[in-house]
Structure 1
Amino acid sequence: MTKKINGERATSENPSQNREMVSYFPTCEALTSALSLADKSLTGSRKVAIKASLLRHLITLALRSAPFDSETYIEQSPDIKKAVNKNEITNLKRHFEEMGYFEGRAAWLNDFDPQWYHSHYPDIRENFDQKDTAGLIAHYKTNGQRELRAPNEQSLPEVEKWIKILKG
């Protein structure tokens, strides 16, 4: 069961998460058939070609369960703030899911730990002073995220999974 919270649907089990439930998702058989895949297990490192529109839609669906901080989104995107003030954007999360993510906008801060970041990456230790918190944060925002660097020790296992999938 879902209900509206601040104009967005949320699950009744945990409405504070404010995450929209997907009302439909095709079966694995339907997806693999549409992609002309004989092996429905989708395991291994074999590459599969899919239409960009399908990939974008799958990313959009995944983003519905991603953390979202409207203050961060507005703070890091002055043009979004202007659009909200003009009522051109009425649902920040939906804007992020459908457009902002694909424009490279940030919608959450990853609990960045500058001391851990500095100690974990040798090249960062070589180029930044441990006390240069502003420089470390700037590096992470401008380079580290794009380079798939973990922002903190807790996220390292998940980042490593992504690296394995994306670069493996």
Structure 2
Amino acid sequence: MPNFSEIVAAFPELQNPDGRVWIPTRFLRFLLSQLADALPVDEHLYAADNPDVAAAHEAGQLASLREHFTQTGYFEARPLPVRLVDEHWYLTEYPDAGNAVARGTVTDAAQHYALRGRTEGRVGSASQREQQARWRTELEELFRACDGVWPLQKHM
């Protein structure tokens, strides 16, 4: 990661907290791919969720499943291939999951999350919920600051 001073040199608006920074889509995608690369990607889960990608990898068309996710899959809105489930929190937060475990429909919170929770928009832990809320708040503030028009729409 470059020093912040190098980033400020590229985007001097960062020195003014009221300024806006317009960055090329290519650079934004790069930044997001770097964030995605920091995730603890479970390649087995990614392969199971994406048989087309798994087949391409097995055929030697892709160097790695992790690289596909961080460079392509994330931007295609494929499910996050991350297994981060806090068992106690998840079962407390989602009583239906606890009931499913009690009935033996699933073995544990992680299995419930993998089979249903992710696709239903659930999160696996309190920290994930907090992170999601921080991102949502930041995006909503950006939207309001742009008078209800996303920044890229203003340039169209």
TM-score range, shorter chain: 0.5 to 0.7
Is it true that 1:61 corresponds to 2:34 in the alignment?
A: yes
Q: How big is the shift at 1:164?
A: 2.1
Aligned partner letter, 1:115: L
Contact 1:68–1:108 (8 Å) recurs in 2: yes
Q: CA separation of 1:77/1:57 partners in 2, compared to 1, >3 Å: closer, same or farther?
A: same
Q: What aligned pairs does 1:152-163 form with structure 2 within 5 A after superposition? A: 152-163=125-136
Q: Percent identity?
A: 20
Give the number of aligned pairs. 129
Hey, what does 2:118 align to over in structure 1?
Answer: 141
SS at match of 2:11: helix
User: Deviation per CA, 1:13-65, whole angstroms, max 9, x where unpaired?
Assistant: xxxxxxxxx589881222314xxx2x525x47x75443222211111122222
Q: Which structure is higher in strand share? A: 1
TM-score between both structures, scaled by the size of structure 1: 0.60
Q: How big is the shift at 1:83?
A: 0.8
Where structure 1 has 5 or more consecutive residues not aligned to the other structure, the ranges are: 1-21, 120-127
Please give the root-mean-square deviation of Cα atoms over the aligned residues, in Å.
Answer: 3.2
Supply the distance in 2 between the matched residues of 1:30 and 1:96 (Cα, whole angstroms).
Answer: 30
Q: Which structure is higher in helix share? A: 2
Is it true that 1:110 corresponds to 2:84 in the alignment?
A: yes
Contact 2:92–2:98 (8 Å) recurs in 1: no
SS at match of 1:66: coil
Out of 22, 25, 28, which is 2:7 matched to? 28
Q: CA separation of 1:153/1:23 partners in 2, compared to 1, >3 Å: closer, same or farther?
A: closer
Q: CA separation of 1:132/1:57 partners in 2, compared to 1, >3 Å: closer, same or farther?
A: same
Q: How big is the shift at 1:82?
A: 0.8
